[in-house]
Structure 1
Amino acid sequence: MTKEQKKNENLSFGIALIIFTVITMYLMYRKHEASKELDSCHRYTIGEVYNHLYMYRSGEQINCKFTYNSKEYILTKTGSDLKQTKGKNYLVKFNPDNPKISEILLDKVIPKHIVAPSEGWKTKPRIDE
C-alpha cells in the first residue's frame, strides 16, 4: 500500500468517525429534549405490555400499547432487567401534545379492572389493589 493510499484510508476513517460522532450526539440531544418535554408537560394513562422479547445482544425489549383520546399509541422500552411483564398493565407517562413521547412506569402492576379516562390523569393516580 502506498503512502497516498494509506493517507486516503486514514482520511476516510476520520470522516466516518466524525459522521458517527455527530449522529450519536444528535440522537443523545433528541433523547434529552424529549425527556425535558415529558417532564414539563405530561399526563398518565394505563398501557398494556403485549410483547416481551429477549434480544441476542441488547438485553430485553417490551412493547406497550396505550390509548389517548381514542387513538392507540405504541411505545418500546429496552433494558437488561425487564421483569415478566407481558399481558400486564402499567402506568404510562406521556406528553398530551405529542403522545409518542412517553415512558412506561414498571414499578407497579395496575389491576385489569381499573380503566383510565380517555384524556388521561393530570397527576399520577394512587392505585390501591
Structure 2
Amino acid sequence: MSDEANFWVKRQAPGLDDFEAMALRAYAELPREFRDLAGEVTITISEFPEEDVLDSLGAESEFDLLGLFQGVGLAHASAIAPTGAMPNSIWLYRRPILDYWAEHEETLGAIITHVLIHEIGHHFGLSDDDMEDIEAGSD
C-alpha cells in the first residue's frame, strides 16, 4: 500500500469542530481590507440547512446548499441598525460540502474558502451572477 493510501486508512471525515477551524483559518487569511468590510459576521457550521431554509430557497435536496448568508447585506443596511436585529451570519453546511468535495478535484480547504468568500459576497450585496462573473474573470 502506498504512503498516500496508508494516510487515508485511518482517517475520518472532518467533524463540525474541524470545519469551524478551517473556516476561521480561511477567514483569517482573507485580505485585511475584505475582512474589515465584512465587519461583525458570525460563522456557524451545521450538518445540513434547516428545512425552512431549504423550502424558502426552493432547494430539492438538503445537499443543494453548501452555505448561506443570513442578515442584512451592506448594500441594504441603513445607517442605524433596527433594534433587535440579529447579527449577520454565514452558515457553512458540512455534509453538502463533504459531498461536493468527494465529487470534485478540489481540496477541502479550497472548497470551504470558496463557499465562505461566496457568502461574504452576499454580505457585500453581490448577486450570485455578480460573483460568478468575478470568479470567471479571475481564472
TM normalised by structure 2 equals 0.25
Relative to total residues, which structure has the larger helix share, 1 or 2?
A: 2
Relative to total residues, which structure has the larger strand share, 1 or 2?
A: 1
TM normalised by structure 1 equals 0.26
